[in-house]
Amino acid sequence: MLGLIPWRERKDIDLFRREIDSLFYRFFEGWPFEMTPSDGQWIPSIDLSETDKEYIVRAEIPGVDPKDFDISLNNNVLTLRGERKHEKETKEEDFHRIERAYGSFTRSIQLPGEVNADKVTANYKNGVLEITLPKVKEETVKKIPVKTA
């Protein structure tokens, strides 16, 4: 269809398309669920699931020493911090491509309900950090009958 549009008008359409593309890139830049972070940073993937008794957070964080994790819970926001350190460089190798990202990361997740902070556990196995957050038992609601005079 572009073959039917005169060249000078097609130039305007291409310019408009580039401006729209730029608008979308700027709009989604820096969102917390950005899949390809910029500036050489990396963000671990996280799954949040729920059972009757607990919330379970699983984060893919391969290549990080468990001692380097900083996990905190504040006002039902779980925050994970850590750093994946760059392996030692080999002077004899000439890299053609480096896709693995290194550096520090921070992820904060708003939990959907109240948790018992004293009973939270974290386990790290095969590059996956699993955090179990027991739910706070809801207080039973007592119905109060209204009497008529």
CA separation for the pair 120, 92 (Å, rounded): 46
Give me the pLDDT at residue 149, please: 72
For 17-72, what is each residue's pLDDT tens digit?
888 888 877 776 655 544 444 455 678 889 999 999 999 999 998 888 888 889 99
Count of all residues that appear for the chain in the document:
149
The amino acid that residue 113 corresponds to is: G
DSSP letter assigned to residue 93 = -
Please tell me the pTM assigned to this model. Answer: 0.61
